[in-house]
Structure 1
Amino acid sequence: MKKEVLITIRGSQRNEWGEEDTIELTTLGYLYKKPDCYYLVYHESEVSGMEGTTTTIKIEPSRVTLNRMGKNEQKSVFEQGVFHECMYITPFGMMSLAVHPSEVFIDLTEMGGTIKLLYELNLERQKVSDNFLSIEVKEA
């Protein structure tokens, strides 16, 4: 099954000084249903600062894998309580990026739904921020 969907991404991050940044992005994408998982695929835009990058999100019952390909490349796995490190490749260079999720909430069906991730973000093995990411999927 392949379906065009409207994807709304809301993210916030709070650094060690308590400063908080938020971003919201709505884009068209595709929802694919496979036997054991779903996939969301969309193209990044200028708003996200990653134009020229395609994002694929694999949604399994208890794990979310974010895979970016193009100008920016990254593969992060969000599994509650599991520390995952990857390389983040940008046009400006590579760096080590890691996520440590404390909450992974998935409520997704063929009709749409929500994914919520609460996690600590590390860059070059140093904590950068506490993050919250919400992905809402609706039929287009």
Structure 2
Amino acid sequence: MEPVKIRIFSMIKDESGESQTTEQSYAGMMTERSGKYYVMYQEDAQSGLEGTKTTLKWDQNRVIIMRNGTVDHRQEFAQGYKDKSLYQTPYLKIPLLTHTRYLYTYFRKGKWHLEMEYTLYHGDAPYGEMKLLIEIEGM
């Protein structure tokens, strides 16, 4: 396991056309096994998920985000893929559908880039258009 810096840039455009952008930074650990990469880090109060461990798993064609703790959720991204999942908190369970339109993972200048664009649905209703960029760099 090697220590890494993780920066997450997210943008959501809701159904009314309003956009919101956030940036978060974490320290975590990274490893590679059988051609797949893994990064683990602890969420903080800024993310609203304090007490949750997040694991990123990816290869060239797929990114999986797994959260365990105060929130349990597994979300999978692959070009054209529709992922049904259940976002579980201590208080409620929210059915979600993630439809990935764009996915690109690459390593350049000592840094991993995981880029995703997707539509998130809550039940049958669109929740918003999402863009996510995750940068992972050795420390």
In the alignment, which residue of structure 2 is the partner of 1:23? 22
Distance across 2 between alignment mates of 1:105 and 1:78? 10
What percentage of residue pairs aligned between the two structures are identical?
A: 28
2:96 is the alignment partner of 1:97: yes
Deviation at 1:125, TM superposition (A): 2.2
Distance across 1 between alignment mates of 2:88 and 2:136? 27
The answer to whether the 8 A contact 1:31-1:39 is kept is yes
- Within a 5 Å distance, the mapping from 1:1-140 to structure 2 comes to 2-108=1-107, 111-140=110-139
The answer to whether the 8 A contact 2:60-2:104 is kept is no
SS at match of 1:69: strand
The aligned amino acid for 1:56 is: T
Distance across 1 between alignment mates of 2:5 and 2:95? 31
**Residue-pair matches, total:** 138
Distance across 2 between alignment mates of 1:112 and 1:32? 14
SS at match of 1:50: coil
The answer to whether the 8 A contact 2:82-2:97 is kept is yes
Aligned Cα root-mean-square deviation (Å): 1.1
Distance across 2 between alignment mates of 1:54 and 1:77? 17
Deviation at 1:113, TM superposition (A): 1.4
Q: List 4+ stretches of structure 1 deviating above 3 A.
A: none
TM-score normalised over the length of structure 2: 0.95
Deviation at 1:22, TM superposition (A): 1.2
The answer to whether the 8 A contact 1:96-1:125 is kept is no
Deviation at 1:92, TM superposition (A): 2.3
